[in-house]
Amino acid sequence: MGMAHVLVADDDDVTLEMLDAALQDGHRVTTARNGRQALQLVRDHAVDLVLLDVDMPDIDGYQACEALKAHPDTADLPVIFLSAKVNLEERLRGYRVGAHDYLTKPFEVPELTTKIRLAVEQRERQRQLNGQFEEAVNTALTSANMYGEVGVVLALQRQLATCRGYEDIAQAFFGALEQVGFEGCLRLSGRLGVLSRNARTDCSALENSLLDHLERVPGPSVQAVGDNTCFRYGHVLILVRHLPMNPSGIGLGQDECDRLARVRDNIALMAEGLLARMHSLDVEIENSRLGQARELVQITHEALVDISAQQHANRLHMGQVFQRMRIEIEHSFIHLGLTEQQEDFLANTMQRHIHDALSVFDEGNEIEQHLDRLIQRLHEHAR
């Protein structure tokens, strides 16, 4: 991949010049002095990422981002907001209009360039995955049409039974979420690690920051987050975009309110299904580890039995060697012409050293007894 083409929009000339200079090394940079000009430049140029100041006259950053996300040609274009506002409400507003990240002023240039690189790389990965995802969604939609709303949940439960990891679980969930007409992001945390992603790729930096915040703040299993809804079930955390908790308060009719209530209930059932499958995978992993541990115990048990048997055989063999040596030396006394006193001295010396050597093996009895006890304990655990 070549240089990323970055469009920078800010109504402050000093900031614009600073950003232009900071990004020239390693990026193609196009500048705009307001939101309207930024939208026109995006239509006229192939841009890889847009840096938008939030506070601009005429069309502000949020409105410009909404316009980009509303057009199919620029819907996947990553947008990073630049703002001096740091509160959660502002970040949620950025998330609501589809931004990739939210960077507060003042910021460090290395941080900005890193965020640009990661956003552009993620967009490229997303494009590569789009074909696979669309195929999976089309297959799921065909199945869902046969069963309706409840059928989506049932089809997901059946699909979860075949999932072998968190990626499979996430893909199955986002396929079902797409069928009920919504999108969002998901975090799964368990023995297999932590997975944070949206329907097509890893979570954006802004999505991750929102999930981080929701993890830290206690609350009910289902709760409102602006005009979004959060589902928190154990190690499953889901944020569904544009699913209000109180749709009647924003002027929706009763039929639509009832439909959204059913959607919330169905997504809650989906979340419980995801959690149940994660628990099942945890049990399977634990059983696999126990099986490996039992196999290791059995191998160790067999090795220790062999060591103990070899220790005993070595002690017997050494005793036999010393016995033959003593007999041969005593027989040789006849031919050496030694006095009786010399023979007694050599015999006693030899006997003393044989005794000392065999004592080493006798001390090994304690080791053998320890091995016997260890073998017995391993044998009990291996059953």
Token digits of residue 259 = 């439909």
User: Is 125 a domain residue?
Assistant: no
137 plus 69 within the same structural domain: no
Return the CATH number at 156: 3.30.450
203 plus 239 within the same structural domain: yes
Q: Specify the length of the chain in residues.
A: 383
User: Is 120 a domain residue?
Assistant: no
Q: What is the pLDDT along the chain (383 residues), one digit of tens a residue?
A: 578 999 999 998 998 999 999 998 889 999 999 999 999 999 998 999 999 999 898 899 999 999 999 998 899 999 999 888 778 888 888 889 999 998 888 888 888 899 999 999 988 888 877 666 666 655 555 544 445 677 889 899 999 999 989 999 999 999 999 999 999 999 999 988 999 999 989 999 999 999 999 999 888 899 999 889 999 999 999 999 999 988 877 778 888 888 899 899 999 999 999 999 999 888 876 766 655 556 666 666 666 667 666 767 777 777 777 777 777 777 776 677 677 787 778 778 877 877 777 676 666 566 666 766 766 776 665 55
300 plus 226 within the same structural domain: no
- When divided into structural domains, the chain yields a total of 3
137 plus 260 within the same structural domain: yes
User: Is 296 a domain residue?
Assistant: yes
154 plus 262 within the same structural domain: yes
**Residue of 104, 108, 115, 110 lying closest to 79 (CA atoms):** 115
CB-based contacts of 92-96 (< 8 A; 24+ apart in sequence): 92/210, 92/225, 92/226, 92/228, 93/62, 93/226, 94/62, 94/65, 94/206, 95/206, 95/207, 95/210, 95/228, 95/241, 96/226, 96/227, 96/228, 96/241, 96/242
- Measured between alpha carbons, how far is 207 from 95 in angstroms, rounded to an integer? 7
267 plus 358 within the same structural domain: no
Token digits of residue 383 = 């059953």
136 plus 274 within the same structural domain: yes
User: Is 91 a domain residue?
Assistant: yes
209 plus 307 within the same structural domain: no
150 plus 86 within the same structural domain: no
295 plus 280 within the same structural domain: no
Return the CATH number at 23: 3.40.50.2300
User: Is 121 a domain residue?
Assistant: no
- Measured between alpha carbons, how far is 322 from 189 in angstroms, rounded to an integer? 66
Per the structure, the complete domain to which residue 317 belongs is given by: 289-382
pTM listed for this prediction: 0.60
Domain boundary among 269, 284, 299: 284
Domain boundary among 44, 75, 107: 107
Domain boundary among 284, 314, 345: 284
User: Is 119 a domain residue?
Assistant: no
158 plus 80 within the same structural domain: no
Phi, psi of 178 (to 5 degrees): -60, -35
**What pLDDT sits at residue 145?**
44
User: Is 320 a domain residue?
Assistant: yes
Question: Number of C-alpha atoms within 13 angstroms, CB side, residue 1?
Answer: 15
Q: How far is CA 334 from the centre of its chain?
A: 84
**What pLDDT sits at residue 146?**
43
Q: DSSP class of residue 238?
A: E
170 plus 241 within the same structural domain: yes
Nearest 5 degrees, angle CA 121-CA 126-CA 131?
145
> Where does residue 145 rank: exposed (0-12), middle (13-18), buried (19+ CB within 10 A)?
exposed
Token digits of residue 356 = 């000392």
User: Is 113 a domain residue?
Assistant: no
